[in-house]
Structure 1
Amino acid sequence: MKLFTVLSAAVLGGALLVGTASAQEVQERTIRWGHLNNTDHPVSFGVQKFAEILLAKSGGKLKVREFASSQLGNELQQQSALRGGTQEMLSASTTSLATVIPEFGLLDFPFIVNTTDQADALVQGAFGKAMIDALPQRGLVGLGYWGLGFRNVTNSKHPIAKLEDFAGLKLRVIPNPVYLESFSAFKANPIPMAFGELYSALETRTVDGQENPYTVILSNKFFEVQKYVSATGHTFTENIIIVSKIFWDKLSPAEQKMMQEAYNESRAYQKEQTRLQTEKALSELQAKGMTYNAVAPEELERMRKAVQPVVDKISAALKPDTVKLFNAELDRVRKEVK
């Protein structure tokens, strides 16, 4: 837990506050922000940057208290706490939001984007905005997205170099239909499991492997219980920054503006930290003894084709207008962004 008290920023913010909002518009508040990652992860770096900016803007009145490493529960538990008004903020994977708005699951489809910039453009465009606009009906307010990076498979058995290497592997996946059906299509044995239970399951060989961004693999020391890391890059995971609507509605317009601006101003920093830490993480995983392998483009294409029936099936069960918007935005991003 961290309570940020950046005094110099607060003093500067106090001076700026005079010109932007009256004292009555900004009250002393402590904002509890929970997430699953450790404090050495780019998500935590983003939380700290957001907290610093918000403290300055509010003249030291709006303080963020970070609860990292699942201290407030798993993502679904924290999401419920936000909707009930007992927690103020959460940075969670968009995957967990699919439980309340199934169309968020479109972002989990494998092999839809090839680069971080494409992933970023997709959520910053019309589709990403439409999903944020749907949140208030579910008791949540979205400030925007942060990228966690591409997910890659680790396991204790052998490298994943071709589609057939998935066969029979017990892989922990996010409890979500896209992940369960995708890895079933790869002929793996997907095991849905909460993230907090994963290290122990890997250590005891309850599961053979898992899939996550390199930064998550390193931060959670999966290298201690996994031998192989394979660059499947099958999905790009987005975090969404969400606020309890109950809490949001208590804020003055000035406070709401400061919250949104703190996200806007911290986004580029968090994106850069994800890029830097991803590169560093892969090097460190290899230095700590993991065997790394790339996956040939033709094998990635075989994986993409294997999972296409899953994409078609799940798309057919979602709102047609949202699927149409998603596909249109995906086409645009693929043409415009490298």
Structure 2
Amino acid sequence: MRILLTAAFVAVSLISAAGAVADEPTVIKFSHVVAENTPKGLMAQRFQELVAEKTDAEIEVEVYPNSQLFGDDKVLEAMLLGDVQMAAPALSKFSRYTDVLALYDLPFLFEDLDAVDRFQQSEEGQAMLNAVADKGLIGLGYLHNGMKQLSASKPLRVPEDAEGLKFRIMSSDVLEAQFEVLNAAPLKKPFSEVFTLLQTKAIDGQENTWSNIYSKKFFEVQPYITESNHGLLDYMVVTSKEFWSRLTDEQRTEVKAALDEALAYGNQIARDKAIEDKEKIAESGRTEIIELTPEQRAQWVEAMRPVWRQFEDDIGAERIEAAYRSNDD
């Protein structure tokens, strides 16, 4: 009798243990490289909250900002290995996997974020989310940071002013060509190192959005910022096919709904913060903000247009034309 009771107890214990394991939430590790108070950081926090609400805590999002887990150069490899489940790298970071997304790096392609939205929500723009599917990655949506500005150790008013200067860039052949056409020196360096590189004068300048320039305090070590609005800094929220396939249909629907809502929230913040953070930088008195005249801007546009032609074959001439047409509202 004692043996039968012991066996029954063991069986019940195993069933209980199995149930406990089954009840543990599915964890999504969301890795990103910027501060919590940026559009990306705030979007990630909102996504965390929404997933918990929509799935009754069945899925748990853990957010790791400020490159705590991985930099953007390593996070996609880590995702394919299963070490993280979601990330939102800058679109430039996908250059190792596809040429198509380099479209978003082309200088002066989009006039403003309204044009970007029109293109990204179009059939062509949505199709580009699948550009890395053959590499085991799934694009789930776009997130704005904003239009990029140029900062430097000297005033930049016309293209010739950039000649000979060293600029930090993300890993992107397009961005490299963008500065080479100006006879400047582009240097591919991690985002986490930019402040120190500027502070020690190892580089002369960089390009970034107002929110990144403010949150990372680049304006404190750059005496001049040119409001060029010359490029776009956007991200693509991505997951691995392997992880996505492990979720049930219902879970995928809930997570995607949470993400879409969080992205709308983050994109509005990007617009608001561009205005607010520019004002804070101006009020600090630490740097001079240079506003280009229409004639000066036209010189920059003319100087950088050859970059479009250089990458036309890789990106697709029709795709570039479709993006450019989005400027017509």
TM-score normalised by the chain length of structure 1: 0.87
Task: State whether structure 2 residue 245 is matched by structure 1 residue 249.
Answer: yes
Misfit runs of 4+, over 2 Å:
133-136
AA in 2 matched with 1:218:
Y
Cα offset for 1:34?
Answer: 0.7
Tell me which moved more, 104-113 or 293-302.
293-302
CA distance 1:27–1:301, shift in 2 (3 Å): farther
- Number of aligned pairs? 307
AA in 2 matched with 1:325:
R
Cα offset for 1:117?
Answer: 0.9
- Residue 3 of structure 2 is matched in structure 1 by none
The 5 A counterparts of 1:161-200 are 161-200=157-196
Look up the SS of the partner of 1:114 in the other structure: coil
Q: Is the 8 A contact 1:84 1:246 kept in 2?
A: no
Look up the SS of the partner of 2:311 in the other structure: helix
Q: Is the 8 A contact 2:110 2:323 kept in 1?
A: no
Q: Aligned equivalents of 1:105 and 1:250: distance in 2?
A: 30
Cα offset for 1:134?
Answer: 2.9
Q: Deviations over 1:147-200 (max 9, x none)?
A: 1101101112x2211122111111111121111111111222222212122111
The 5 A counterparts of 1:81-230 are 81-156=78-153, 158-230=154-226
Task: State whether structure 2 residue 231 is matched by structure 1 residue 235.
Answer: yes
Q: Aligned equivalents of 1:174 and 1:161: distance in 2?
A: 23
Q: Aligned equivalents of 2:227 and 2:243: distance in 1?
A: 41
- Residue 296 of structure 2 is matched in structure 1 by 299
- Residue 42 of structure 1 is matched in structure 2 by 39
Q: Aligned equivalents of 1:42 and 1:209: distance in 2?
A: 23
Larger C-alpha radius of gyration, 1 or 2?
Answer: 2
- Residue 334 of structure 1 is matched in structure 2 by 327
Structure 2 residue corresponding to 1:287, chosen from 283, 286, 289:
283
Q: Aligned equivalents of 1:297 and 1:122: distance in 2?
A: 25
Query: Once the two structures are aligned, what percentage of the paired residues are identical?
Result: 26
The 5 A counterparts of 1:316-331 are 316=313, 318=314, 320=316, 323-331=317-325
Look up the SS of the partner of 2:201 in the other structure: coil
Tell me which moved more, 31-40 or 307-316.
307-316
Cα offset for 1:71?
Answer: 1.3
Q: Aligned equivalents of 1:27 and 1:101: distance in 2?
A: 37
Indicate the RMSD between aligned Cα atoms, in angstroms. 1.6
Q: Aligned equivalents of 2:264 and 2:237: distance in 1?
A: 14
Look up the SS of the partner of 1:276 in the other structure: helix
- Residue 14 of structure 2 is matched in structure 1 by none
Q: Aligned equivalents of 2:198 and 2:127: distance in 1?
A: 38
Q: Aligned equivalents of 1:55 and 1:301: distance in 2?
A: 49
Look up the SS of the partner of 1:96 in the other structure: helix
User: Structure 2: any 5+ residue segments left out of the alignment?
Assistant: 1-21
Look up the SS of the partner of 1:110 in the other structure: coil
CA distance 1:76–1:199, shift in 2 (3 Å): same
Look up the SS of the partner of 1:232 in the other structure: strand
Q: Is the 8 A contact 1:173 1:210 kept in 2?
A: yes
Q: Aligned equivalents of 1:246 and 1:133: distance in 2?
A: 15
User: Structure 1: any 5+ residue segments left out of the alignment?
Assistant: 1-24
TM-score normalised by the chain length of structure 2: 0.89
Q: Deviations over 1:284-329 (max 9, x none)?
A: 112222111111222222212212222101112x164xx4134224
CA distance 1:221–1:309, shift in 2 (3 Å): same
Q: Aligned equivalents of 2:226 and 2:98: distance in 1?
A: 31
Q: Aligned equivalents of 2:25 and 2:156: distance in 1?
A: 52
